[in-house]
Structures are given as structure tokens and as C-alpha cells.
Chains A and B, each alone.
Chain A
């Protein structure tokens, strides 16, 4: 009798365990919370002979179930936590666990190692085009600035796992771009170099342990520096950034733990003592408004988070990876191909191109901003 009860009880217990995720998927009675990280929206075909016969219907339903089955976030967090606790292993696409739990994105380390080097000729060509564009824009009364945002791999090389470091001297896309831009006398602001110089003396965290971008504090310092540079270069009506104080927090804001968040663990990795500047934007004395176009990668989002981009003028534009446009007055998010680029540049006072070393190679592409604008100004290359 006891054996019968044990078997019966086990059977019901096991049946519940196996059934619960599907029941929760259907009825949603227990909320597991969302996972961090972006997944692209998936298309779902209706059931039809064609979709079944081709296997498309089944594949899409498999994917849907994989992404939505009940308790999925809990299963993911449990597995990630166990992998970290038992094996010191993280499960994040392209995320590398460095020494002292410093997180890196693998592409940044590859660039630091000189892997996927863009090539000296391509880089020279890109910087040559930059110089000519700079000159043309100057004749039109516009300022061009080329900026390099910091790379965590250059900032914390001592935290990169030894097994991932390439020994010996090697050329990198960053060092080549820096040399070529200097030799072409391009107006360049090298935040990567500046941050390295400040690393040992800064009282505040410039790049966080769990983030891949500059910290909000570091981004604000850089924003202040960029505003001053643009003003000195002749861009009128730009505000001044007045940093009035710093508050501290154990909780990360903005992108200060962007890598750490996508690890989706039960107990997040230890972060930093985060510093968050208090600041105001002081309007310029001169009348009128500047129009600045910012072209670059995700580091520019921190300048939107701290308001620098928006305070340059109401008609600011952000050309994200030269792929998607965001803007101030009357510009809704749109693809680059639908945007009036010549018109926008015609109205602009200043164009800032800023990429982190990992993304500098994009400037060498045949469809890059540089190539497109160069062709516009110099058709046939003349």
C-alpha cells in the first residue's frame, strides 16, 4: 500500500513538473520576469499546406516555443548561475569573462590583438577621404571632427584573459587610424588615448567592470571636452557643460552594466562604485542654434543619455552606424536610405564622426559615410 502511494505520488509530482511550463505558457499564471537582452522579432506564418510542407511552420513554432515556454527566464537564470558558480563560465553571446570578473566584448579584444586588421592601404584611403571632406566642409563654413571613443580592451588590457592575448608587436586598426589621421591632419579627438592618460589619476570610474561603453561619468567628461573642442573650432551657439558635483551609487544606470545585464544570472556579478555627475547645460551667449550631425556607434547613445546631443541644437541628428537616423525637430526614426543626406549636411554646422576602435574598420567600407560623401563631393574621385 505504501509503495502504491509512493509511486502514485511520484507520478503526480513528475507529471506536474513536466506539464507546468506548457500550462504557464498557455495561461500565464506565474510571471517569471523578462530576460535582459534584445531578441529580434520573429515572423509567424499561419498554418497552411505550403508552410507545413516546407517545414517553415514547424521551424517558426519551435523557435516561438523556445523563446516563450513557461518559466524560460527562470531556467535561463538558473543555468547561467550554475555555470558561473560551478565553472566560472558565462553564457552571453560574444561576452568574455576577464580577470576579476571584468567583462569584455570579444570583438574589442580581437581588434586589440590586431585580428581582422582593416589594412594599411584601406585606412590611409579612409583618412585621405576624411581630410578632403574636412577641407570641403570648411570651405562651406562647416566643421568636421573625427573622434575615437575608448575601447575597454585598450583601457583594461591587464584584465583580458592571458589565453586571449596575442603576444608580440602587431598593428591594429586603431593605431593605424590614429597615425593616418594625424599624418593627414584630420581634426581628431582621441578619447581612447585621453582615457588611458587619465586612468591612474581619475577618482571616478571611466569604464565600468560590467559595461562595454564609457561610463556615464566618462561619457559626460568626454561630452564636455567635445563641446569645448567644437566651440574652439568655430561652431557657434553651442552650450557649455557645467559639472557641479558627483553622486555615488551601487546601482548602475544607463549602459554602465550593459554586458552584465545580458548574462541574466540570479546573483549579478559585482559591479563598481558608480559615479554619476550632476551637471547643467549653460546656453551660449550667442544667438541662434547649431545643427550638429553625429555619426557613429552606440557610444553616442551615452551622449544622448546625458543630453549633450540634444543640447547642441533643436535640429540635431544622430546617424546610428550610418544605418538609422534619429533626430531632433520633426525627424522620426527612419532608415538612412530614406533620409535627405545632402540636405541635412547642407544645413549642418558641424559633423562629428565617432567610432570605437572595434568599429573603425566600418569607415573603410565602400558604402561608409566617408565613401558616400566623398563620392558626392568628388564624383569619379577627382
Chain B
């Protein structure tokens, strides 16, 4: 079930929240749990058992780990939990990729290739696996005590707003909210949550889907692409992935708020970044945070030699790329960003600092080019596309922009960059962070309801409605 579907907005949403708001406080968590299980099982009737099974194993393994003081036993149980979770992630997500590459090598050696039944990826596995790891590791590190109640742990993992596509919520950030979210279950939070949900829905349906349709048409053209169209395709994808993913995060955060949960922000105007380093503080913030806490710091973080630091940075981004998908395009995308991070750390950083806001003119094109690897998923296709972008070929008129595309792209540019101005920052602060007066509530309430209806209309007529990050 996706958020931007009629089934969700006109069936699940009203039924779930009506039941949730009407039941007594002691039953609310159970309603969330049942609703979340139904939400996941509807779209993945088989994989719900994988999810439920792993949560059972993890809960009891972590409980046993927390109960013992013997370091060896604690480490063994930690490794057991990590093996199960990462093992399943590898099995479902990377085994096909591993087999394809192994067969390529076997082909070079003139050895008969392996045959294997292609596996289907359980939706959301990359997200909930990483959340499980935060739970296991945070308990191991004694940052937090384990949850006493099995159903509380289930709630943490299966909570439907963030189950499919994040944000990745560290256990440490969620532990206190298992019960205290009830204190935030106020009319103010419900309304602000709904507004946030509608903003996210609008980003996804009104912007991401439109520019995404153009990006798909252009990327599917293959060879013969002219230079201008190739750039339009790359920039369109750049906006598609941002509004799609940040839109989904907004919807998740909004739905959480409607239940009193406070999820961490996942985006902070990433295309206004003044360097790639800055970009990664603004893009998929929860993934970056996870990588820092559970990979970069254990590798030594900043407290290592220059060469080792370069390696650590680059490795973390290689894994970030791999997390996104089992294809060389994602790995190269991660390595590409890692290379720029290293470059900025040791060479470019001081020059970029002198540029001030103008550094956006460096960061944005670097990011756009990186997305070409991400979108094409394969090196040869990426290079063909980049060749079209960087060698002059006059317009072939194979693809033409229509008025809707131009208008939507203008909106995308506006909303991506408006916080570069003081006025833009002020507006953003008013909408997301300030307390609302009654008139502001009325204005937002009306505007968001209109947006909700317009989005519902778009969903009704459109057949192009894929979520990109759904695949992860």
C-alpha cells in the first residue's frame, strides 16, 4: 500500500485514525500495531512473516544480550543478531546481484554459469534492517536499555508511517516515544500532522510525478539524445528524486505527528548545499546519521591518519551507494560522492568556503551528474547518457516540454532553492517551526484541504505513480 493511492487516503487513513482517536489510551499502541501489520501485509502478504519473524528473533536475542554481563556472550549475541539481519538483507537484496557478477566472472573463465531462482525484494527491508541494527547496537553499547515489552519493540519496527521508506529512526530517538507520544496526541499535533502529510502528498503527486514522467521518457530514449534534452532529463530526475523522497518523508512525519510521534527530519533543502559535504548533512539525513554512528565512527571516524580518513569516508559512501540498490550504478554513485567528499576535505573545502552562496553553482551540477549513475543503474548506460550531456548535439525534437512540465519545473526550482533567500527561510520557518495562530490555522487548513483534493484528483486519473525509494 502506498501513501499516494486512493486506497490509503480514502480508506486506510480515515478508518485507522477514527479508530485510533476513539479508543482509550491503553489500546492506542495496539491499534497502531494492528494497523501497521495490516498496512504491510496488504502490500506484501508473504513478507510480513519475514518481518514478524525477524522482530521476534531480534527482541529475544537482544534481551538475552542485555541480561548478561559477560562480554564474550554479549558480543556473540550481537553478532548473531547482526548476522540474521544483514544475512537476510544480503539474501533478498544482493544475492541476485552477486550471482549475476559471479556468472560474469565464470563466463570469462569459460565455466558454466550458476542458475538461481530470482528473488523478490521485501519492501522496506533496507529501512527496517537498519533500524533493527540501531536497536541491537545501542543496547550493546549500553546507550539504552532494551524494551521490556515485545509489543513495544514490534511497534518501533513496524510503525507504518516510516516502515516502507523511512525516515530511519534510531532506537535511541524512539525509545522514549513508545508511551510519551500519547502526551502529544493533541488537536494541534493532529492538524499540523495533516498539513505536513498534504505537503508531502503534493510534492509527490503534483511535482515528482510530472517531472518524473519527463525524466522517464528521456532516459528511455537511449542513443540519439541531443545535449539539451539530456540535461533536461538529468535535471528532471534530480527534482523527481528529491520531491518524491522528501515528499514521502513529509507524509511519514505528518502521519507520525497525527499520532503524537516526533520523527526526525530527513531533508533540509539539500539542493541549496554549498558543498557535497553540506549536501550530505541535508539529504537523507537519517541515513547519513546512521552511517556516521554505526559505520564511520566504528571505523575510527576523524581520529585516524589522513590516508585512513580518506579511505573511511570513501568506504562509507560506497556502502551508502550499495544500500540504495544492488547494481553497479548505485555503487559508482556512492563512490562518486565519496570522492568529492574526500576532495573537499583535503583540497576544495577552503576554496568553496570563499564562494559563499555561489558554491551552489558547483554543488548542484555535481549532484545532477551523480544522479545519472543512480538513475541508469549501469555504468555503460550512464556513460552513454553522460556522453550525450557533454558532447554537443543539436536539438532532435524527439522530446518536447509542454506547458505543464515547464510550470511544474518552475515550481520545483522555486521550492528547491527558495531558502537561499532570507524571505524563503522565514516562510519555511513560519510553516514548519512556528506556533500557529488561529488565522494561520484557517489558511493552512483550507489550503491543505484544497491540495489534498487536487492530489486525490491527480491520483484518480494518473497511471504513473511509482515511489522511487519504495524499492529499497
Residues of A within 8 A of B (CB): 2-4, 6-8, 10-11, 13-15, 17-19, 21-22, 25, 52-55, 58, 61-62, 65-66, 69-70, 72, 75-76, 78-80, 82-83, 86-89, 91, 163
Contacts and interface: CB of A to CB of B under 8 A. Distances in A.
Interface majority SS (helix, strand, loop, mixed), chain B? helix
Contacts of A21: 6, 10, 456
Specify which of A22, A25, A54 lies most central, judged by the most chain B CB atoms within 10 Å of its CB. Answer: A22
B402 A52 contact: no
A55 B42 CA distance: 8
B13 A89 contact: no
A7 B14 contact: no
A87 B400 CA distance: 14
A18 B14 contact: yes
B224 to A, nearest CB: 15
B403 A15 contact: no
26 contacts: A3-B437, A3-B441, A6-B441, A7-B441, A11-B187, A14-B449, A17-B449, A18-B14, A19-B14, A53-B45, A54-B45, A58-B42, A62-B7, A65-B7, A65-B11, A66-B6, A66-B460, A70-B10, A75-B461, A79-B460, A86-B404, A87-B404, A87-B407, A88-B403, A89-B404, A91-B461
B107 interface: no
B375 interface: no
Contacts of B461: 75-76, 79-80, 91
A155 B400 CA distance: 25
Contacts of A17: 449, 452-453
B27 interface: no
Interface string B338-359: 0000000000000000000000
Contact of A72 (B15, B438, B460): B460
B404 A15 contact: no
A6 B456 contact: no
Nearest to A2: B438
Interface in B379-427: 397, 400, 402-404, 407
Nearest to A55: B45
Given A11-B187, A11-B191, 6 more contacts: A14-B449, A62-B5, A65-B7, A70-B10, A75-B460, A82-B457
Query: Top 5 nearest A-B pairs by Cβ distance?
Result: A79-B457, A87-B404, A10-B445, A75-B457, A7-B187
Interface in B455-469: 456-458, 460-461
Given A75-B456, A79-B458, A91-B461, A18 B9 contact: yes
Contact of A11 (B9, B46, B190): B190
B265 interface: no
Nearest to A7: B187
B445 to A, nearest CB: 4
Interface of B: 5-7, 9-11, 13-15, 18, 42-43, 45-46, 187-188, 190-191, 194, 397, 400, 402-404, 407, 437-438, 441-442, 445, 449, 452-454, 456-458, 460-461
Contacts of A18: 9-10, 13-14, 452
A65 to B, nearest CB: 5
A15 B10 CA distance: 11
Nearest to B460: A75
Contacts of A6: 438, 441-442
A8 B188 CA distance: 9
Contacts of A88: 403
Contact of B45 (A13, A52, A61, A72): A52
Contact of B442 (A10, A22, A163): A10
A83 B206 CA distance: 12
Contact of B454 (A62, A76, A82): A82
Nearest to B41: A52
Contact of A65 (B6, B407, B441): B6
A62 B9 CA distance: 12
Contacts of A19: 14, 18
A4 B438 CA distance: 9
A3 B437 CA distance: 8
A161 B437 CA distance: 51
Nearest to B404: A87
A70 B11 CA distance: 11
A139 B15 CA distance: 73
A287 to B, nearest CB: 57
A22 B11 contact: yes
Contact of B457 (A13, A25, A76, A89): A76
A247 B188 CA distance: 64
A4 B191 CA distance: 12
Contacts of A80: 461
B3 to A, nearest CB: 13
A80 B445 CA distance: 25
A17 B13 CA distance: 12
B187 A87 contact: no
A265 to B, nearest CB: 12
Contact of A7 (B45, B188, B404, B407): B188
A54 B44 CA distance: 9
A18 B13 CA distance: 8
A78 B45 CA distance: 35
A3 B442 CA distance: 10
A10 B191 contact: yes
Specify which of B43, B187, B397, B407 lies most central, judged by the most chain A CB atoms within 10 Å of its CB. Answer: B187
B402 A89 contact: yes
Contacts of A11: 187, 190-191
A77 to B, nearest CB: 9
A203 B291 CA distance: 75
B186 to A, nearest CB: 9
B168 to A, nearest CB: 27
B395 to A, nearest CB: 12
A66 B445 CA distance: 26
A8 B191 CA distance: 9
